[in-house]
Structure 1
C-alpha cells in the first residue's frame, strides 16, 4: 500500500508537538568570572550572516544571531524567533514571532523578517540558501508578529532553511557582516586572526540562558596546539579534534570527547574547462582511489569508504544498489580515461589546505593513487580562507572538500550537488546539473514519503553517471571539552557543524 502523507502528516514525522516544532595533565585550571573559552580551528574568513564560510564562522554567528528556527540536541527543528509555525494545504507557511529584542534593545518584528528574506533571495546576494529562498514569491506581514510566506510551489523543507545557521534573521538595514543580532551573546571585541569575545545578552528571550557570562573564542589553527591548549586548561572546548588525538582525549579523565558520524570527504571539479568537463574523467577519478587508505591515513580508522552519494545507510532514502557504484577499480579508471580521450593521462592541480590535517592527508592519498593511472597531480595547499576563495572563484582543476549536508533530509545535499545554485567552494565549479536540479525541486514540492524516495533514487542514479562530486570517505567529527563542561552537545549526523547552537546552554562546573 502506498505510504501517502498530506502536508501536516509529513511535518508531524519531523518532530512536531502541538505547534509545529520542527595529552597531558589530568588536572585543569579553574575558570574565572563565568568565562568559557572555546578553541576555534581558524579565524572566520567573514562574518557574513548569510554566506557559508566554514564551521568556525558558523559558530561565531550563532553566538550572536538567531533565525526563525534552529535545531535541538536530537536534531529536530525547534522554535527560535518564531515560537510557532504552520503550513496550509496550498503550501503557504505562517510564522508567529515571539517577543524578542535586538541587541540594541529594539523589538524583532515581522518587517525585519521580510527584509531579511528579500535581501538574501536577491540573485547577487551570494547567500548560501539564495536559490531556495528565490522560490518564495511573497512575504506578507499582516501584523508585527506574523509572517506569511507564499512559494512558487509547495516547499516541504522550508523550515529546514530557516533553521540553518546561514539563514539568521537580521534587523532591517543591517550590514551583512554585523554581529548585532538577537542571539544569546553580544559582541565585545574582535582581534582579527586571534580571538572573538562575546558577553551574555541580558535581553535574550530564553529565560535562564545563556548560562555563562562570557565566551572567548580563541584561534588555534595548528591542530596539535589546539589539543595541547585543551589538555593544559587554556580552553574549555575545542572544535575539530584531530583524529589522531581522539583516543588521547577520550582516555584523559580530565577531558571528554563528543563525536558523531556524518560529515564526509569528497572531490569537486572545475567543469568549466577540460578535462573535468567530461563526466567520464570525473568517474575515472573515483575508480582510481582506494578509499580505505584515506580512512586510515586521514582519520586513523575513524572513517569509512564512501563510494556513492553521501546518504547514510541508516537513512530511509539509502539505495543499497548504488553502495559501491564508484568502487576502487583502477582498470576501469584507465578505460574511462581512454574512452574520454586521455589514454596517457594528464597533468592537473588539486586544491586542498594544509590547515586541516585530514584535508592535506586526503589530498596526498588521492595524489598517490591518481599517479597510478597517469594523472599527475600538483597539490595546492593554502590556508583555509584562501582555499575558500579559490574554491568560490574556480581557481583549481580538482579539489578536496569536506563538509556535511545542510540537514539530515536528502534535500540537504543540494548544497553540494545542485549546479543551479550560485558558485560555492562546497560544489564543483561551472557544473550544470539540470536533471539533479529538477529532482531537488520535485522533492521539495512533495509531502509524500514514497514519492520522495523515488525522486531521490532517480537523482542518485543520475549523479552516479554524471559525477557532480566524487564521494571519498565518511568521517567522525569530534568536539573535545573539559570534564566539568556541561550543556554543550555535538548535534547528530549532518548537523554536527550546527553544534554552536548549544553553546547557550554550556556551563562550567
Structure 2
C-alpha cells in the first residue's frame, strides 16, 4: 500500500498531539498476545572441590539491594511500536530498545565529557558491528555480503538467522511507508537484490555506491524483528502483522514489551538471552505524565529516575540535591523556513538581509543559558564536510548590512511577516520573541502565530506561510541527506518554504552516490555554497538534547536519533 507525504506528516502530527494531550485510549483493541519469553535454564552447578580453611576475616556489612527498576516519565506514550509507522520520540525510543540493529555506533567521550556516537563526524566509518558480525564489499562497491552473528536469541527463545533479515526487508517493501523511504536511502531497489546464502549470510546488491549504507542498515525500520513470532501474529488479511506490532513487538534487543496500557504506562522487561549480556535494569516502567511540571516534581521527589520533555526553565530550576541535567548539543537544529515562492522573502536579497539581522548569539545566551550553539549553514558544525568558511553572516547580527540589502531589494521601509511557531515544542515561544526583536531592528515587523502541533504542521505545509520556526535533526549525519530532508522543496519532508534550485538538488543526488573523496568534497561544498547564497532558511541555533536524571543514574550515551538507549544505563 502507498502512503502520501501528507499522511506521513499527519502521523507525525498525531504523535505530537498525543505528546501534548496525553489522551487515554482505553477502548483500543489489544492485539493477540505474543509468546511468553523463553525461560533461561540455569547451568548445572560445578562439582564443589574441598578448599582450605580461610583465615578469619572481619565480616563485611551486607550490601543493600540495588533497585533494578528504571522509572521514566514522558509527556506521552508511544503512538505505535511498529517502525513502519513510528513518527514520534517515544515510539522510536522504545523500538530501538527492543529491536537490535544490524550495525551500531562507535562511541567516545566528547569535548563536553558526554560519551557520544562518533558517526556525527566520521559517517559510516563511525559504525561498528551489531547483529552483523562482519561484512565484505565487492570491488565495484555494489554488493555487500553480511555475515550474521551466531547464537543471538530473542526473549522468546528464537535464534537470529538470515530469515529475520530477509523478512524485515520484505516487510519494508510490503508495507512501504517509512520502510520505503529507508530502503531508498540504502539504495536497495527490490527484494530481488536480497539473497539468502545460508542461515547466517545475506547478500545485498545496491544500485550505486552508497556512502550512507551502514547507517541506513542501522535504522530501526530495517532492524529485524523475531520473524518466527511475527509470522505467528500475521493473518491472511494482515500478512505483515501490523495490528500486532501496533502495541507489541519482539526483537533481538536488550528488552521486550511486557505490558502496554495506552495512555497509562508501558513496561519493558530485560531479555536475559541478550547477546551483549543482560542489562543492568531488569524492568523499565514508562509512565505517561502529560504535565511537565508534574514530571519535574516526580523527579525531585525521587518517584521517577528520568523526566523527559522538560523546558530549559524547568531543568534550570532543578536543585543540586534533586537531580541532574543531562545536556548535549549535537545534531538538533532550529531554523526558520522562509517562503521562497511568494512575498518579500521570494527575493534572495531579502532572505540574506534577515540572516544578517538575526542575533543568534542572544538566543543562545538568553533562552539556553549558553547551552546551545549559533547555527550556520542550517546544519551541525560536526557533520563530515561542513565548511563554515562558506558562511558570511555574523551570528551576532549586522543590522547595517541587512538594511542595505533590504533597500536594494526595494524594502527600505521594511514589511510585515508572520512567524509560525509550534506551541508544543519547549522554548520556541522565547526563541520567536528574540527573532522578532532582531528583525525589528531593520524595520521588519514579525507577527508571531503560535499553533498546536497538528494545526502548526497543516499550516506549515499549506504554502501560505511567511517564516516557519522548526526544530529537527537528521538521523543520518550527512550534509546532503540533511539538506534533502529539510531544505529541498522537491524532496524534503520538512522543508516548508518551497525552495527549488535544480543544481542544488542535482549536486545532492550526485554526492549521495559517491564514496568519500575529493569528488564528494567538491559536491558537498557546492551545495553549501548554494545554500549560503540563496539562504532558503534562517539558521537560528543548534539546540540541546536534554533530560532530567536522578542523581544515581549513570551511563548516558548520545546517539544521532537523540533517544536514550536504556541498555547503557545503570544505578550507582
**What TM-score does the superposition give when structure 2 sets the normalisation length?**
0.71
Query: What is the DSSP-based 3-state SS (H/G/I as helix, E as strand, rest coil) of the residue aligned with 1:483?
Result: coil
Query: What is the DSSP-based 3-state SS (H/G/I as helix, E as strand, rest coil) of the residue aligned with 2:422?
Result: coil
How many Å separate the matches in 2 of 1:252 and 1:413?
Answer: 37
Worse-matched range after superposition: 66-75 or 120-129: 120-129
* 2:182 alignment counterpart: 129
Q: Does 2:92 align with 1:58?
A: yes
Q: Does 2:557 align with 1:490?
A: yes
Which one has more relative contact order, counting CA pairs under 8 Å at least 6 apart? 1
The one of 368, 380, 384 aligned to 2:450: 380
Q: 1:456 and 1:121, CA in 2 relative to 1: closer, same or farther beyond 3 A?
A: farther
Pairwise mapping of residues 103-142 of structure 1 onto structure 2 (< 5 A)?
105-120=157-172, 125-127=177-179, 129=182, 131-134=184-187, 136=189, 138-142=193-197
Pairwise mapping of residues 99-178 of structure 1 onto structure 2 (< 5 A)?
99-101=151-153, 105-120=157-172, 125-127=177-179, 129=182, 131-134=184-187, 136=189, 138-165=193-220, 167-170=222-225, 171=227, 173-175=240-242, 177=246
**CA positional deviation for 1:185:** 1.9
**CA positional deviation for 1:473:** 1.0
**CA positional deviation for 1:235:** 1.2
How many Å separate the matches in 2 of 1:147 and 1:469?
Answer: 42
The one of 278, 282, 296 aligned to 2:365: 296
- Structure 2 unaligned residues grouped into runs of 5+: 1-63, 109-116, 118-125, 231-239
**CA positional deviation for 1:504:** 1.5
Contact 2:484 2:508 in 1 (8 A): no
* 1:199 alignment counterpart: 269
How many Å separate the matches in 2 of 1:364 and 1:57?
Answer: 31
Query: What is the DSSP-based 3-state SS (H/G/I as helix, E as strand, rest coil) of the residue aligned with 2:83?
Result: coil
The one of 535, 540, 543 aligned to 1:467: 535
Pairwise mapping of residues 22-61 of structure 1 onto structure 2 (< 5 A)?
34-50=68-84, 53-61=87-95
Q: Once the two structures are superposed, what CA deviation does each residue of 1:197-228 show, in whole Å capped at 9, x if it has no partner? A: 222234433332x2222111223444443333
How many Å separate the matches in 2 of 1:408 and 1:388?
Answer: 24
Contact 1:180 1:186 in 2 (8 A): yes
**CA positional deviation for 1:472:** 0.6
**CA positional deviation for 1:365:** 2.0
Contact 1:350 1:398 in 2 (8 A): yes
Query: What is the DSSP-based 3-state SS (H/G/I as helix, E as strand, rest coil) of the residue aligned with 1:401?
Result: strand
**CA positional deviation for 1:35:** 1.6
Q: 1:307 and 1:498, CA in 2 relative to 1: closer, same or farther beyond 3 A?
A: closer
Q: Does 2:474 align with 1:440?
A: no
Pairwise mapping of residues 26-425 of structure 1 onto structure 2 (< 5 A)?
34-50=68-84, 53-74=87-108, 75=117, 76-91=126-141, 92-98=143-149, 99-101=151-153, 105-120=157-172, 125-127=177-179, 129=182, 131-134=184-187, 136=189, 138-165=193-220, 167-170=222-225, 171=227, 173-175=240-242, 177=246, 179-182=248-251, 183-208=253-278, 210-246=279-315, 248-249=317-318, 252-253=320-321, 255-262=323-330, 263-269=332-338, 274=343, 278-312=347-381, 317-325=385-393, 328-334=397-403, 336=405, 347-372=416-441, 373-383=443-453, 387=456, 391=460, 396-411=465-480, 413-414=482-483, 416-417=485-486, 419=488, 424-425=493-494
Q: Once the two structures are superposed, what CA deviation does each residue of 1:406-461 show, in whole Å capped at 9, x if it has no partner? A: 24443552464463775534x33544353333333333333343433322111100
**CA positional deviation for 1:154:** 0.5
Residues paired across the two proteins, number: 470
How many Å separate the matches in 2 of 1:331 and 1:45?
Answer: 48
How many Å separate the matches in 2 of 1:445 and 1:382?
Answer: 39
Query: What is the DSSP-based 3-state SS (H/G/I as helix, E as strand, rest coil) of the residue aligned with 1:83?
Result: strand
Contact 1:486 1:507 in 2 (8 A): yes
**CA positional deviation for 1:299:** 0.8
**CA positional deviation for 1:155:** 0.6
CA RMSD of aligned residues (A): 3.6
Query: What is the DSSP-based 3-state SS (H/G/I as helix, E as strand, rest coil) of the residue aligned with 1:129?
Result: helix
Q: Does 2:563 align with 1:456?
A: no
* 1:25 alignment counterpart: none
Q: Which has the larger radius of gyration?
A: 2
Q: Once the two structures are superposed, what CA deviation does each residue of 1:16-60 show, in whole Å capped at 9, x if it has no partner? A: xxxxxxxxxxxxxx9996320123244445544145634333212
Worse-matched range after superposition: 459-468 or 182-191: 182-191
**What TM-score does the superposition give when structure 1 sets the normalisation length?**
0.79
Contact 1:65 1:181 in 2 (8 A): yes
How many Å separate the matches in 1 of 2:462 and 2:176?
Answer: 15
Q: Once the two structures are superposed, what CA deviation does each residue of 1:226-281 show, in whole Å capped at 9, x if it has no partner? A: 333222112112335533355554x6146333322212211224556556555444
How many Å separate the matches in 1 of 2:527 and 2:175?
Answer: 25
Contact 2:335 2:378 in 1 (8 A): no
**CA positional deviation for 1:338:** 5.9
The one of 481, 485, 494 aligned to 2:549: 481
Q: 1:106 and 1:35, CA in 2 relative to 1: closer, same or farther beyond 3 A?
A: same
Contact 1:490 1:499 in 2 (8 A): no
How many Å separate the matches in 2 of 1:120 and 1:466?
Answer: 36
How many Å separate the matches in 1 of 2:466 and 2:308?
Answer: 30
How many Å separate the matches in 2 of 1:407 and 1:268?
Answer: 21
Q: 1:228 and 1:53, CA in 2 relative to 1: closer, same or farther beyond 3 A?
A: same
How many Å separate the matches in 2 of 1:278 and 1:126?
Answer: 35
Query: What is the DSSP-based 3-state SS (H/G/I as helix, E as strand, rest coil) of the residue aligned with 2:325?
Result: strand
Q: Once the two structures are superposed, what CA deviation does each residue of 1:370-420 show, in whole Å capped at 9, x if it has no partner? A: 45533442312314x664566567675432122333244435524644637
Worse-matched range after superposition: 77-86 or 404-413: 404-413
Contact 2:545 2:562 in 1 (8 A): no
